[in-house]
Copies of this chain bind each other. A is one copy, B any other.
Amino acid sequence: MTTQSINIAILGASGYTGAELIRLLALHPNSNIKALSAERRAGEDVSSVFPHLSGVELSRLQRVNEIDFDEIDVVFCCLPHGTTHEIVSSLPERIKVIDLSPDFRLSNVANYEAWYGPHKAPRLQETAIYGLPEIRRGMIQSARLVGNPGCYPTSVILPLAPILKHDQIEEDRIVIDSKSGVSGAGRAEKEANLFCEVAEGIHAYGVGSHRHMPEIEQELSLAAGKNLKVSFTPHLMPMSRGILSSIYVCLKNGQTVSDLKENLVTQYRNEPFIRVLESDALPATRHVRVSNYCLINVFKDRLSGRAIILSVIDNLVKGASGQAIQNMNLMCGLDEDTGIAQQPLFP
């Protein structure tokens, strides 16, 4: 067996999702990282922004416009939203692109602009696929441009899409309470993310206005076959990695908790990265830490006719870089779990 070698460029490599891509790709048998960009750190070694990666042989950080894309097969974009449209537009059509920003996640350009501002590549948007493999595997396999899902949406859509598709819950009464580690906020030098501001505390943020809402609603609406809105409240808590989403739903059409669970079990039976837990086992973020897994379970609520769905992921793996590699594997015809099959880390 010869091993296919994929030449990779990572744009915006100096943040946490960039670090995680490099770490994971170092374990990937087909990966060959050829170029890394970081505008403000161009010219430096990767080890100057990520000393923990000094064991990986990598070329220096470059500006995007210094990269020779002729030798690149796949681009991972980890740039801030609003900057990706133009860069992706400029890439040769031959190159496959996985964009980790929100820039290509919303198929409705007007919707994008309402939440993020001007969309500078509406044509390209038409070709972009929302990269949640468990929901849209076939389309990803043939895609050239994938919008890699947000961390919160991943934790929410995976449990809810099959349930909405089977019309098991009321679409307009979904309440999502999500808790995230701090790496989801990125590596920006903001007071709010300083150790002393985050440690020993928790708070909600973006209440009623978080930018992951349209993405959640887009995918759940598709699953439900009708437009829906959700109540979504994210919380920031003192850990580096992990998301737990607690989802409160109202059963419909005489459905029971067992029915929901059976649906999920059936749906995800053969998925390598989704695990619907048995009986009343409680998903914990420490059970998926540093892995590409998503754990889900469904519980009877004390209020009759209601259920509680809990799901956990590592926001930097299944919620970002791990899923991006899963998408690359699909786009390149590799085994889907290549390079990302590691077990969770505990303690």
- A residues whose Cβ falls under 8 Å from a Cβ of B: 16, 19, 22-23, 26-27, 50-56, 172-173, 175, 177, 179, 181-183, 187, 189-191, 193-205, 207-209, 213, 229-233, 235, 237-242, 244, 246, 248, 275, 280-291, 293, 299-303, 306, 308, 310, 312, 316, 342-347
Contact = CB atoms under 8 A, between A and B. Distances in A.
Contact of A242 (B187, B190, B202, B284): B202
Contacts of A244: 202-204, 235
Q: Which one of A195, A233, A242, A303 has the greatest number of beta carbons of chain B within 10 Å?
A: A195
Nearest to A299: B207
Contacts of A343: 22-23, 26-27, 52-53, 55-56
Contacts of A308: 204, 207-208, 231, 233
Number of copies: 4
Contact of A195 (B199, B289, B345): B199
Contacts of A53: 343-344
A246 B231 contact: no
Contact of A191 (B187, B283, B306): B187
A239 B201 contact: yes
A289 to B, nearest CB: 7
A20 to B, nearest CB: 9
Contacts of A312: 203
Q: Which one of A201, A248, A281, A283 has the greatest number of beta carbons of chain B within 10 Å?
A: A201
B235 A238 contact: no
Contact of A282 (B195, B207, B303): B207
Contacts of A230: 302-303
A275 B346 contact: no
B346 A19 contact: yes
Q: Which one of A199, A300, A342 has the greatest number of beta carbons of chain B within 10 Å?
A: A199
A293 B240 contact: no
